[in-house]
Amino acid sequence: METYKCPVCGNTDINSIGYLNGEPYCRKCISFNGENAKERKIKKGTITFDLKYKLSKEQSEISKQVIENYKNGINTLINAVCGSGKTELVYGVIAHALSTGQQVGFAVPRRDVAYELYLRIKSVFTSNKVILVCGGHHKELEGDVIVLTTHQLYRYNNYFSLLILDEIDAFPYQGNDVLNEMFQRAVKKNYVMMSATPSNQVLQRFLEQNHNILYLNRRYHGHKLPVPKFVRCFGLAMRIELIKILKKYVQQQKPIFVFVPTIELCEYLYSKIKDKVHGGYFVHSKCHDRAKRIQDFRDGVYSYLITTAVLERGVTVKDLQVIIYEADHHLYDESTLVQISGRVGRKLDAPEGEVIFLGSKETRAITNAIKQIKDKNASV
Ligand SMILES: [Zn+2]
C-alpha cells in the first residue's frame, strides 16, 4: 500500500487513515471540512490605522523589530506579560504587510476571544476589509485581514503572507498536533506568535530554529504585575477564609472573580456561600447564558463571580480582585496561575489589585508562578 499523506493536516499515520470505496481519508481531521478560501488580490498602498493611544517606548521598539523580522523573512515570538498591550505590538507589521499587498491572518484558539479581537482590529484598520471566520460564522472567507479561530485554518492552505497567532499556550491549540500542522500549512511567508506564558517547549523550538524571541516584561501602564499571596488553609477553614476576604472586597466595592478548578465545585461553592456573602453569582462553560452573566457582572449587577477556566484569559474588568480557591489543585499549572493573576490591575486608572491563592499546600506550580511574576517585575 502506498503511503497516503492527508492534504489537510499532513497526517501519514496508517492507524488514523480509513478507506471509503477504496479511497483513503484522514480520521484525524475529519471534523474539519467545508469550503476553502479563494485567492484574493489585496490593493497595495499606504495604510492608515487608528491607534487609540501612543505606544510606550518598549512597545514601539518591539513593534519595529517585528516589522524588521517580517521584512527579513524571520518568524517572531512575542513573549509579553499579561496587560502589556500585546495586540498593539503587531498593528505595525499588519499595516506593513497590507501596504505591500500581502494577505494577513490573525488566529486565536478560542471563539469568544476571536470575536473581541475582530471588533478591535476592525476599529483600528478602518479602511481595510476585516472579517471574522469562526464556527457558525463562515459564509464569507476572504478579506484583507482575516480574524479566525485556529479551527478554521484548514480553509487557508498556503494562504497567509503574514499569519499572527495569539494565546499559543491556550486550549485547544496547545499540544494539538492537527491544529499545529494546519497553522504551519496556512503560512505562506512568515508568522508571529504571541503569549504571556509560552511553554519551555515552544521557547526551545524557537531558539533551535533561529527564530526571534522578543520580550516585554512591563505592562503598558508601567505598573508592576500584582504578586499573588498564598494563604494556607483547608476544608471548612478555606471556605471561612474565602468568606472573610469576599466580605472585605464587597465592602470596598471592588469586583471579584473567585476561580475554582471544576464546574462541580463552582456550583457547590456558590450554594454554600451565597447566603453568607450576598450579591454574587457563578459562571462556567456549561452555562448557556454565560455571555449574559459575564456582561451583567461587568455592569455591576453582581459583586462577585465564582468561575472556572472560562474567565482565565482575555477578560479585563476595572479594579478586579482575584481569589483562586483550591489553588493547589492539579489542574492549576504554573502558566494558568500566571494567566489568572494577570487579570488584575489591567486598567490605567486602576493599575493595582490583589491576587490571593487559597490552598492546603504550596505546590510547585504555586511557588514557580509567584517566582515568575517576581522575576518579571524585577527585570523592568
Ligand atoms: Zn488529516
DSSP string, 287-302: -TTHHHHHHHHHTTS-
Number of domains within the chain: 3
The CATH number that applies at residue 298 is 3.40.50.300
Do 39 and 9 belong to one domain? no
pLDDT band at 113 (very low <50, low <70, confident <90, very high): confident
In whole angstroms, give the CA distance from residue 41 to residue 4: 33
Considering the domain boundaries, does residue 224 fall inside one? no
Span from the CA of 31 to the centroid of ligand 1 (angstroms)? 9
Residue 164 CA to ligand 1 centre (angstroms): 22
CA of 181 to the centre of ligand 1 (A): 9
| Choice between 48 and 370, residue whose per-residue pLDDT is larger | 370
Does 178 lie in the same domain as 242? Answer: no
- Residue 6 Cα to ligand 1 midpoint, Å, equals 5
CA of 178 to the centre of ligand 1 (A): 7
Task: Report the alpha-carbon distance of residue 134 to residue 64 in Å, rounded.
Answer: 30
Q: Which of 216, 244, 266 is the last residue of a domain?
A: 216
User: Is residue 234 located within the same domain as residue 372?
Assistant: yes
Cα separation, 128 vs 179, whole angstroms: 28
Residues with CB under 5 A from ligand 1 (ion): 6, 8-9, 11, 26, 28-29
In a domain? residue 16: yes
CB 312 within 8 Å of CB 340: yes
Predicted pLDDT of residue 248: 97
Phi, psi of 169 (to 5 degrees): -95, 10
Please indicate, yes or no, if residue 222 is contained in any of the structural domains.
Answer: no
Quick check: is 210 in a domain?
A: yes
108 CA from centroid of ligand 1 (Å): 20
Closest CA to 142 of 105, 115, 113: 105
170 CA → ligand 1 middle, Å: 22
What's the CA-to-centroid distance between 21 and ligand 1, angstroms? 18
User: How far is CA 308 from each of CA 20, 80, 180, 214, 266, rounded to the nearest angstrom?
Assistant: 42, 24, 26, 31, 7
Bin 229: left if φ > 0, else alpha if -120 < ψ < 50, else beta.
beta
Boundaries of domain holding 22: 1-30
Q: Are 263 and 284 in contact (CB under 8 A)?
A: yes
Q: How crowded is the C-beta side of 118, counted as CA atoms within 13 Å?
A: 18
Question: Whole-angstrom Cα distance, residue 215 to residue 197?
Answer: 11
Using pLDDT thresholds of 50, 70 and 90, give the confidence band for residue 136.
Answer: confident
Beta carbons within 10 angstroms of residue 30's beta carbon: 13
pLDDT in tens, 54-104: 899 999 999 999 999 999 999 999 999 999 989 999 999 999 999 999 999
Amino acid identity at 138:
H
> How far apart are the CA of 305 and the centre of ligand 1, in A?
40
Residues 176 and 207 in one domain: yes
> Which residues lie across from 230 on neighbouring strands?
357
Nearest to 325 by CA among 369, 356, 280, 364: 356
Q: How far is the CA of 75 from the centre of ligand 1 (A)?
A: 25
Q: Are 154 and 182 members of one domain?
A: yes
Gap from CA of 167 to ligand 1 centroid (Å): 23
Give the tens place of pLDDT for each residue, 174-198. 888 899 999 999 999 999 999 999 9
Total-model pTM: 0.88
Place of cell 468568606: 243
Cα(7) to centroid(ligand 1), Å: 7
Q: How far is the CA of 29 from the centre of ligand 1 (A)?
A: 4
